[in-house]
């Protein structure tokens, strides 16, 4: 059940962009991240997980997630982009910023904001596996199962969501709205 909560005037969006209703409020996101952090703590007991956030969308989720994991850990960042819509369907992903440190021998946990077709993660998993991590798992805040084009095993999922365009909490439309604390459905057109 979606809550009909609209954003402040300053977030009304540009012409033809309508933001709202809210899909996930910041408190619900916080609570779920607390649960994910507790599970990850249990699963990685005695280990030092190495969290790899995929920029830019995952940056805010990552910042909250690492603080919810009561374990010694390390982290790194990668940025990827597609070669355009057509190329994306082929699964090709461009690495815009690679890891600073080698993942070799590390218990890598990839951090994504959203899994949609799965193509980005599929590529990243294949690519990282060749670099000999000790283990490789995935945590994603949002998952759109109805959009999946390729099978990817996501180990920790925050929320399964419907096939709607969402913004806020790191997720953008045309690089905007990433700083909204809640996650909203964005509708384009009048």
Active site residues: 116
Comparing every residue's Cβ against ligand PRP, the nearest one is 57
143 contributes a contact to ligand PRP by CB under 6 A: no
167 contributes a contact to ligand PRP by CB under 6 A: no
How distant, in Å, are the alpha carbons of 60, 74, 76, 124, 183 from that of 161?
Answer: 18, 29, 27, 22, 11
182 contributes a contact to ligand PRP by CB under 6 A: no
Q: Is 70 exposed, middle or buried (0-12, 13-18, 19+ CB in 10 A)?
A: exposed
Q: Which residues inside 38-77 make contact with ligand PRP, applying CB under 6 A? A: 54-58
Adjacency order of strands within the sheet including 156-160: 93-97, 74-82, 49-55, 107-115, 135-143, 156-160
| One character per residue 84-123, x = contact with ligand PRP (rule: CB under 6 A) | ----------------------------xxxxxxxxx---
The least distance separating ligand PRP from the CB of residue 59, rounded to whole angstroms, comes to: 8
> What are the residues binding ligand PRP (CB under 6 A)?
54-58, 112-120, 172
């Amino acid at each position: 059940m979606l809550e009909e909560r609209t954003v402040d005037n300053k977030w009304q969006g540009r012409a033809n962009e309508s933001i709202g209703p809210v899909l996930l409020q910041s408190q619900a996101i916080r609570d779920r991240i607390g649960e994910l952090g507790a599970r990850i703590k249990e699963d990685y007991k005695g280990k030092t997980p190495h969290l790899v956030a995929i920029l830019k969308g995952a940056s805010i989720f990552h910042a909250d997630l690492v603080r919810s994991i009561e374990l010694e850990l390390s982290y790194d960042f990668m940025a990827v982009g597609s070669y355009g819509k057509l190329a994306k369907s082929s699964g090709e992903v461009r690495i815009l910023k690679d890891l600073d440190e080698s993942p070799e021998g590390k218990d890598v946990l990839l951090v994504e904001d959203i899994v949609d077709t799965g193509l980005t993660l599929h590529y990243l998993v294949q690519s990282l596996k060749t670099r000999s991590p000790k283990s490789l798992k995935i945590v994603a805040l949002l998952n759109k199962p109805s959009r999946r084009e390729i099978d990817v095993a996501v180990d920790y999922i925050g929320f399964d969501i419907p096939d709607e365009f969402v913004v806020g909490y790191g997720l953008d439309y045309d690089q905007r709205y990433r700083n909204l604390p809640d996650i909203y459905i964005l509708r384009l057109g009048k």
